[in-house]
Amino acid sequence: MVTRVNRRDNDTAQMVRTESGSRRGILLDFDHTLFDTDRFFWVDLKAAFTRFGVSDDAWEKSYETIWPSGYSLRTHLEALFRLGAIASVSVASAMHATLERSFSDLRPYLFPDVVEFLNAARQQDFDLILLSFGDPAWQSYKVQASGLTPYFTQIMYTPHEQGKAGMLDMLAPAYADLRAIDNNPADLDAMKASTPRLQTYLICRVESSAVEGADPSLRDRFREAARYLTIPSRLPHRQCRSLNEVSLSWPN
Ligand SMILES: [Mg+2]
């Protein structure tokens, strides 16, 4: 009886090994990992609103009111209209059309190592899985407009903080080798806690000069990315500043 149970366990283990076999996957975060979100959002998008006469103060105030329920250009423009920072609904509509046109191609906001890294990983038969936190429609716009959709086997969005660990639980059994790259230590901690064999890379895209210096002009340039540097890691992660530091070879 015991032998039969053991054999069944062995068969199951063998089956899992065969199914997951040599499958390798990389879980990638989007904002501040692949995409220079601060330069897009806090520098260039904000500057486009400024050209329409919207003050920094009104822009930030309206942003603060709408982001908790999911960001979109439309809701941001509506909030600015309610604040009196945009004269009429027709002006808001014209702004919306112009902004959509101006920011339809977001490829210039990818960090310079991204496309080369994704191609190299695909060539080495890694499945690439995008796990992205934020409003699904807004995240989807950024991912598509940055031209990254074709690189990924799966693209998953979660509007919930810490939602990535739940997604990983579903994905992990299919992979013999799994790595994750993220700029948020809290997400890496949660994922590593649920799947200890996950190889985690904490990537920092913030330039050292911006962290050390007190230059106010750099405040928006690394506005959100710099906040993640203040979050402590509970678990150890490999630290890197570039995707070129992420190993694509088999673990020893
Ligand atoms: Mg991120």
Q: What is the 97 CA–ligand 1 centroid distance (Å)?
A: 28
Q: What is the 19 CA–ligand 1 centroid distance (Å)?
A: 31
Q: 24 with 175: CB under 8 angstroms?
A: yes
Q: What is the 221 CA–ligand 1 centroid distance (Å)?
A: 15
Q: Which domains are present in the chain?
A: 17-35+109-245 (3.40.50.1000), 40-102 (no CATH)
221 Cβ contact partners less than 8 Å away, ≥ 6 residues apart: 38, 39, 42, 43, 210
Q: 165 with 194: CB under 8 angstroms?
A: yes
Give Cα 101 distance to the centre of its chain: 23
Q: What is the 182 CA–ligand 1 centroid distance (Å)?
A: 6
Q: What is the 146 CA–ligand 1 centroid distance (Å)?
A: 15
Neighbours of 206 (CB within 10 A): 20
Looking from the CA of 1 toward its CB, the CA atoms found within 13 Å total 0
Q: What is the 197 CA–ligand 1 centroid distance (Å)?
A: 21
Q: What is the 239 CA–ligand 1 centroid distance (Å)?
A: 14
pLDDT per residue as tens, the chain (252 positions): 222 333 344 444 444 444 556 899 999 999 999 999 999 999 999 999 999 999 999 999 999 999 988 899 999 999 999 999 999 999 999 999 999 999 999 999 999 999 999 999 999 999 999 999 888 999 999 999 999 999 999 999 988 877 899 999 999 999 999 999 999 999 999 999 999 999 999 999 998 777 665 676 678 899 999 999 999 999 999 999 999 999 998 765
Neighbours of 45 (CB within 10 A): 17
